[in-house]
Amino acid sequence: GIRAYNGTVFRLREHIERLFEGLRVIRVSIPLTKEQVMNSIVETLRRNNLSDAYIRLVITRGRGNLGLDPRSCPKPSIIIMTEPVLPAHGKEAREKGVTAVISSLRRDMVDGTSHEVKSLNYIQSVLSKFQAIDSGAEEVVMLDHRGMVSEFHGSNLFIVKQGIIHTPTSAAGILHGVTRARVMKLAEELGYEVRERDITPYELMTADEVFLTGTMAEVVPVVKIHGVPIAEGKPGPVTKEIIRGFQRIIQDPKEGVPIREAISIPAKTRN
C-alpha cells in the first residue's frame, strides 16, 4: 500500500519505481508510464477529496480464459483503491508497543518467485496471521527456509543490540519495503549504525529492542514475543527516537508528491 499524509503522497515515486521493477520481472506490460500512474493516483485522491489516506494499487494481467497461459490476458487491469485514514491512526501501538509470536510456517526459498516482487500471494502471511490471532498476539514473525528471521507477516523487522540497528537481508526472503528504506536512512541521519545481516531467533528474543516498519503501521515497537518480554517489555529509547523522526518526516512535503499538483510527463511519453 501507499500512504498520503496532509495532502502529500509519501514516497510515491519510490513505490511506483518498485512497482515497475516487479512488473518487468513477472512480464506484465501496462500502457502507462510511471508519471501517468502517479497522476492517476493523485487524481483519485483529488476526486475523493482525500488528504490523509491509504492507497492500494493493484495490477492484474487482465481478463482471460480459465487456463494458465498468460497470452490469454492481453490487456492488464489497473485498479486504484483509496480509503481515509485518521492522522492519529496507530498512535496507541506506537506508544505501548505490540506483541508477536513466531510462525511455524516458513518463507519460501528465494528463487524465481522472489519476495522482492510485491504480489497478491499472501497465503503464508494470512495463515501465519491466524497463529497470531489464536495466540492473542497482534503480529507474527516469519522465518526463512534456513530458520533465520525474515520479517513480520506484513511488515519489515528491525532489532537493536548495544545501540546498533540490525535488519534481515534479501537472502531471508524479505520485501524491500519503502518505509524500511526510509527508516534505515533516517537511523543513519540520527547517527545510528545500521547493519543488514542474518538474524537468528535467539538474537531476536534477546534483543534490546525490536520494532517493525510498514506503510500502514509506520514504525511500531514490539515488546513481547512468544510471551517473552523484549528487554524491559516496553518501547526502547532507540525505537522512540526513530518514531519521533519518522513522524516528522511524513509531514514534510519534500518526502512525497503533493496531491494538488500534477506530475510532469516528459513530452515524448505524452499521448
CA distances 64 to 23, 68, 77, 78, Å, are: 18, 9, 11, 15
Residue closest to 102 by CA, chosen among 184, 196, 199, 177: 199
Residue closest to 108 by CA, chosen among 127, 135, 132, 133: 127
Question: 10 near 214, Cβ under 8 Å?
Answer: no
- Give the angle subtended at the CA of 166 by the CAs of 229 and 173, to the nearest 5°: 100
C-alpha cell at 77: 487491469
Q: How many CB atoms lie within 10 A of CB 260?
A: 10
Residue closest to 115 by CA, chosen among 107, 126, 123: 107
The span from the CA of 228 to the CA of 204, in Å, is 11
Question: 85 near 54, Cβ under 8 Å?
Answer: yes
Cα(first)–Cα(last) distance of the chain, in Å?
28
Q: Is 118 a catalytic residue?
A: yes
Q: Give the 3-state secondary structure of residue 3.
A: strand
The span from the CA of 226 to the CA of 30, in Å, is 44
Catalytic residue among 34, 118, 161, 240: 118
The span from the CA of 231 to the CA of 74, in Å, is 54
Q: Which residues are catalytic?
A: 118
